[in-house]
Chains A and B, each alone.
Chain A
Amino acid sequence: MLEVKGLSKRLPTGKTILNDISFRVDKGEFVALLGASGAGKSMTMRAIAGLTSVTAGEVVFSGESGKCYTTITASGKTSGKDLRRARRNIGVIFQGSNLVKRLPVLDNVMIGRLGRIHPLRSWLYGFTDQEASEAMAALERVGMAGFASRRTGSLSGGEVQRVAIARAIFQRPLLYLADEPVSSLDPKNAEAIMQLMQPLAREHPILGAFHQPGMVMHYCTRVIALHKGSIIYNGAPNLSAKQLDEIYCGQADRPEATQELTAAAES
């Protein structure tokens, strides 16, 4: 369960990047963030992961055990230790993946768990054989077990994205954040990645940014649409052509458009 309350981010220049964003993501959900480029999808996810400062807001999430983690507290203060404790429970799959190209595939999966291992061990010894075989299992799950010893820089876009997912799985998080995981892929690979993520979401919820409404309708359980930093839609994933037009074509600046969309979401 993830709860985002009143997230706002304003730059010193006065520009509003996030405007009072509030939403929940519950167990078993696969939620898609939609919106034009620059709408604030990446910023929302970066804020949830505690990677950017915000002007106001609160982010809380928890798993089965009920133990709560916060990356942004209402008081605005999060200690480095608490932040790290929270982050190791969030599996982030970035736009373009951000793997270390020079490391072997297996290492790139294993470093997903750095937050859980003792710093001294990570410097002096590295990972254990047990961790390596768990990482192999994660690679197996995304169909990349045969690539374990390959240098990551030599993989194709679709393969890189699978490794990134394997890293997130291996991390054993309570929540996944995926920023445009399929944007750089061909349709067939994109479809394959969505098929990998769908069962994952049943274990731990996924919040992802996408630019493919067709695939979102098919695989996701809910859509949250952003426009210039505000939520303009939060509801069922099967959007009509007119609704998509509202989301992408700037018409959403009109207050009545947002009302129409919200009404549609509630019905």
Chain B
Amino acid sequence: MSASLAVPSNVLPSVRFRRRMALLVVCCASVAAFLIYLKVDPIEFFRDFHFVSDLIKQMMPPDLRLLWVKHGLWTSLLQTVAMAFFGTLIGSIIAVILALFAAGNTSPSWALRLGVRTLLAVERSTPNIVVLLVLLIAVGIGPFAATLSLCIGTVGMFGKLFADAIEQVDPLPGEALIAAGASRLQVIRYATLPQVAPSVVANVFYAFDVNLRLAVALGIFGGGGIGFELHLAQSVLRYKDMLACVILILVLINVMERIADALRRRLFLQEV
């Protein structure tokens, strides 16, 4: 076996290595080109870095007295959690309902299906901040606008995902129910939904995670809650208060993550 078989050139290791290197060079070159085009000067970046370090010095030490002096802070924190919670809950329920209309196997008509799919696509491509700014005009500053905006974002984020999950459900259990005289709605209730439930639940947890962070950010833009406190502290240059808020937010996100994890673990253990 001295005359070895020729390895096809597209899988030859040396050829593949050269191809990888070429790709790397192209990537580096395009990054450099962009930096030059956007006039990003790395030297300036380091020169101006003292602004950042000055700010951090001004923030130190965080004014943690705020936590027991200023009771409104806790209310704001709770408000942010409530925004994320209701935004996720209501948004997910609407997402599931719309998904049933958008999935080929459960939708009552193709026209409705097309309409809902288009609506979801539009929602998905609209950034939360844009939705919020529009809603602020309509319903005014405060957590209601932010919750509504999170709702709409959740529907956009998961409506299509749920619809795709529904379309991938095994059709045979449902057909067996049809054969026993069940109606389409009964099939959805007893064959389709039980099959998509785990993926829906997992995604709802993920949505809450995303929405909690978004709720903080939307607060800064007038959505209320802890984000708004942060914004207030910043606008009156109370940097020590700001850092206290940031710490509170970090703790909040971590604690909520733990709680969600524990809940999820319980849910998924139970069904064995």
Contacts and interface: CB of A to CB of B under 8 A. Distances in A.
B272 interface: yes
A78 B189 CA distance: 25
B172 A171 contact: no
B190 A90 contact: no
B179 A123 contact: no
B97 interface: no
Given A114-B190, A119-B185, A151-B272, A49 B173 contact: no
A11 B21 CA distance: 56
A203 to B, nearest CB: 18
B11 to A, nearest CB: 39
Interface of A: 49, 51, 84-92, 94, 96-103, 107, 111-116, 119, 122-123, 151, 154, 167, 171
B261 interface: no
Interface stretch (B58-66, B125-133, B154-162, B192-200): B192-200
Contacts of B177: 111, 114
B194 A102 contact: yes
Given A94-B175, A101-B195, A123-B189, 19 more contacts: A51-B179, A84-B181, A87-B180, A87-B181, A88-B180, A89-B181, A90-B180, A92-B176, A92-B180, A94-B176, A94-B179, A98-B172, A99-B173, A100-B173, A102-B197, A111-B180, A111-B191, A114-B183, A123-B185
Contacts of B194: 100, 102-103
A115 B195 contact: no
Interface residues of B, number: 22
B186 A96 contact: no
A87 B178 contact: yes
Contacts of B237: none
B133 to A, nearest CB: 39
Q: Is the interface of B mostly helix, strand, loop or mixed?
A: helix
Contacts of A119: 183, 185-186
B272 A98 contact: no
B190 A111 contact: yes
A84 B190 CA distance: 17
A112 B179 CA distance: 9
Contacts of A89: 181
A87 B194 CA distance: 23
A122 B173 contact: no
Nearest to B196: A102
B247 interface: no
Interface in B178-228: 178-183, 185-186, 189-191, 194-195, 197-198
A85 B176 contact: no
B194 to A, nearest CB: 5
A101 B173 CA distance: 9
6 contacts: A92-B176, A98-B173, A98-B175, A101-B195, A102-B197, A171-B180
